[in-house]
Amino acid sequence: MKNNVYIFTKTPDTFWSYPSDYTKTFLADSCNYALNRNQLLIRREGNLVYYIYLERILNKQDVLGLCFVLNSSIINRPEILFPEFRYVVMRMLYDNLLLATNDINRISIKPEYLTNTTVESTGKCKIN
């Protein structure tokens, strides 16, 4: 059983994801379903189940997403993931990783860090 975690962002002009692999296209497409401020999408393909958390930020133009992939298993009550995903987003804001508040107190993605971001084997995001 192999599980993966993805982080991704979409602005009107760009899409970025880590890791960048076969999921890039449908993660980018999933951002189009971000109708609310934040929501959880579930997608199943064969034995893989994708739990995709989307959060609209910066005047609802930009989307930050987290995706947790399970292989050959499911979560019976996926609503329990919602606060966990939300916590990760808030920690990234609090720790000043990828997210920041701008001069008008809106949450925004820090694009200058996106190309220099790596994820250590511990799963923690590290800015180079």
Domain boundary assignment for the chain: 4-127
Interatomic CA distance for residues 53 and 37, integer angstroms: 11
Q: Which residue has the tokens 């760009």?
A: 14
pLDDT band at 16 (very low <50, low <70, confident <90, very high): confident
Interatomic CA distance for residues 9 and 109, integer angstroms: 8
Q: CB-based contacts of 26: which residues, under 8 Å, 6+ apart?
A: 43, 50
Domain 4-127 top-level CATH class? alpha beta
Could you give the 3-state DSSP secondary structure of residue 21?
coil
- Name the residue type at position 52: I
- Name the residue type at position 123: G
Share of the chain above pLDDT 70, in %: 73
pLDDT for 59 equals: 63
Residue 27 has pLDDT above 90, yes or no: yes
Q: Work out the average pLDDT over 78-96.
A: 83
Residue 116 has pLDDT above 70, yes or no: no
Residue 53 has pLDDT above 90, yes or no: yes
Closest CA to 5 of 112, 85, 86: 85
Please report the sign of the dihedral spanned by the C-alpha atoms of residue 107, residue 14, residue 39, residue 4.
negative
